[in-house]
A and B are shown apart, each in its own frame.
Chain A
């Protein structure tokens, strides 16, 4: 927390307290609380509770355990429970900023859709979920003709493995493993694969920026089933924020055979490159459709000025099946440890020799690699693999395998 952030909070508090307390005093109290390792949001709440009791808070502002909560909300759900002859009510109320479940032993003669004002309630955790408790001594009244905006349902936190086909309002922390940008009807659509410590999930995002390799907190997404697979859908109303900390991704090793059998779209595979194809090297592409050209004419776009590109193709075998890995220019630069210009210079220096193929062979042929790749089955059981991440097997991976072996023996 730097001085600038503190200044921002102080200014906010100053406004909310209607200037009743001067900035220096607020800052002093703020810094005092912070020094006890409270989060700035909590400190803000503490100060507001102390100097502005009785103020009405938005439901979205209710965080953590609070006392003397006054709020206004619309009943989203309500039911009565009778236990031991005593009846209690529970349900959910919400406003434009969020929702919260409530519990009360008071009489609640209201129905779904009613807007109520609650005074002197408190909050607490039950089963790790924050709830609003409305005790006997609190006040509850129905507000007629209250103009309430669209209720913002507070997203619930999920890990990828827990996302089901009907899950809505998902809050999830993900790392984008792969993303591709497309345009549909003028709308930018990004499709890709995201992961966390529990697994991976394909996603579709509309008009949002999601970059490969970056971590995000996504709030308000929903799941959709398509061709038997569950997709995370991120639409315009979903909040996407880049995460300060890197989200760890844990993908278990799989085999090409299992991936084909289970219809997996992306997986971590371990195997050996058995062959590097003659097609490896510099290519000319049509600047419009990216098709690889034999000359300067594109079958679709006529005479064009081709753009240079670099590709690599290799046969990857994991002992169960084999696939054709297609390396992009980025992959090639990474594996060869050379920039594009250096590679072009190399090709020009040794005309007639497939130097790029030979360089690639030197690095990967008959060596064990782990590749995180998108896999797709082409006709005749031909598996195409597009790498997302590629890494040579090292001591760490070998000792993992040894551990597994010792368990089996």
Chain B
């Protein structure tokens, strides 16, 4: 698992990996070593699609040299806390996604509920997690025309990702369901239901 360490200005490093899975493994290892006090002063650890950004680094050159020597194990399947999200399969794009997949609308919910996802990273809005886990053949393109308002709690698919809108916002993802779970509440600890590294299962709401 080879890492490219890129300098970002005077106090940040961008770690570039070969895949999202490798970035997830490095993110987990960075958090483990930070918790063990082995990382040094770093303000932010921000995973993304194939990278992990370390920002607010006291000694970027020294840390870069150390990172290049790290041996990082692949991510264990059971790593990370498991979060279960109850969903009604009532999204306005459900039939369209079923058509793209060549299955019935009811089958879409069963396929998604049978998939274990992982929060690869957050972005777009506070508490919006980009969930990986869908096999490549089930990837669907974004809508040609984004909606001006997607309701909070919408469960959606786009490209390699699944996601849940934490609040009403514009959006171009395909909506397949909805949940009453509160994705984001800054008064709550933790504020984000879906934080990077968590495993996620969707189950039919009762």
Check if A and B associate: no
